[in-house]
Structure 1
Amino acid sequence: MKNLLRPALVLFVALTVMTGLIYPAVVTAIGQAAFHHEANGSLIERDGKTYGSEIIGQQFDAPSYFWGRLSATTPNPYNAGSSSGSNLGPTNPSLPEEIKGRIDALHAADADNAAPPPVDLVTSSGSGLDPEISPAAAAYQVARVAKARGMTVPQVEALVAQATAGRQFGVLGEPRVNVLKLNLALDAARS
């Protein structure tokens, strides 16, 4: 038994040092050197103030801001510590109620808009943290935001166009609009 105890302890200590200290230190150093912005949370900072992360959605519900996808995280929307979808399937009676509630909220905020809202504005995201919406979802909200801010529709459309990112490498994914970046651009345009 004594012959087995010493090698087991040496192996335990060696693996603990390698996997618990050396490996994390090397990965952290590489991350900080090669991907500094991403390794630190992809934070959006302006004038020394942090507004949020470009990869985590935020709650916007004022008519003067673009709204993102619904978040099903608990206890608060866009809670990064509790990422989850709603898990409401197409046969769940709660799903149409949730969608109807969101459609009603969109129509209440912009009664002049009779167009059907894009699907990403009325359904929850898979993670509950989506920071982006489709260009169609942004276009649907342009008139409401322009009216609430006292801007012209073309002015707001120009900001949406600037905030629209294309497909990654030209082929992956879909065009998208980061809601936080767009809302910050709106605030900067007002200044």
Structure 2
Amino acid sequence: MVTVLRSVRFTLVFALVLGILYPLFVTLIGQTIFPYQANGSLVTWQGKPIGSMLIAQANTSPGLFSPRPSAVDYAANNSGATNFGPTNPALFKEVKANLLAVQKANPGIPVAAIPMDMVESSASGLDPDISIANATIQTVRIARVTHIKRSDLLRLIAQQEHHSFLGLWGSDYVNVLRLNLALLKKEAMRHHG
């Protein structure tokens, strides 16, 4: 009987510590030190949340930057890749379809100039970032649609650019939502300024 009571006490104490106290402590630290990140890195536009800096969103507007293709149709509750191997015909078919879509949206771009992140989905299917080359190619289309000078769009990309860690790990990139938000602000200033 003593062993049973000891086991019950042990279970209750650890349920309290690990099930209530520890999560409360972590939540308190997160909300105190990193409130923006702890609440999902949400971005607002004109007082309304429009997305998270951490999750890509589908974009059909030709006047905005497009994210990488998504194997899960940008469904955050279904994150994942297709897991097709490099010799799988389904991967070839998917990349070819994405390549045709990129060429249709951005006419005149030679196939050799199209970066991989424009035609291949990320491992999560929700990567919010694109390469500088990807963003640069899209400036031709966006300049044509919005009538913003391409040089201004390139400057916008440079302002939003994130560099690789210590110049060693990763590659330079831009966050699509942050870049589109900067573009929307620029357009709003142009129309109201």
For the superposition of Structure 1 and Structure 2, which TM-score range results when normalised by the shorter chain?
A: over 0.9
Instruction: Tell me the TM-score normalised to structure 2 length.
Output: 0.91
Mapped contact 2:132–2:172 kept (Cα < 8 A): yes
C-alpha distance in 2, partners of 1:50/1:173?
A: 29
Mapped contact 1:165–1:175 kept (Cα < 8 A): yes
> Are residues 1:10 and 2:6 paired?
no
One-letter identity of the residue aligned with 1:19: L
Aligned residue in 2 for 1:86? 82
C-alpha distance in 1, partners of 2:25/2:163?
A: 34
Question: Cα offset for 1:169?
Answer: 4.5
| Bigger Cα displacement from structure 2, 11-20 vs 45-54 | 45-54
Aligned residue in 2 for 1:148? 145
Between the two proteins, the alignment pairs up a number of residues equal to 187
Mapped contact 2:136–2:154 kept (Cα < 8 A): yes
Alignment equivalent of 1:110, drawn from 82, 106, 115: 106
Question: Cα offset for 1:58?
Answer: 0.9
Aligned residue in 2 for 1:51? 50
Question: Cα offset for 1:104?
Answer: 0.9
Aligned residue in 2 for 1:34? 33
Aligned residue in 2 for 1:100? 96
Instruction: Tell me the TM-score normalised to structure 1 length.
Output: 0.92
Alignment equivalent of 1:179, drawn from 163, 176, 179: 176
For structure 2, list consecutive stretches of 5 or more residues without a partner in the other structure.
189-193
Percent of matched pairs sharing the same residue: 37
User: What CA deviation, in whole Å up to 9, does each residue of 1:1-31 have, x standing for no partner?
Assistant: x222211111111111011011111111111
Give me the CA root mean square deviation.
1.4
One-letter identity of the residue aligned with 1:25: L
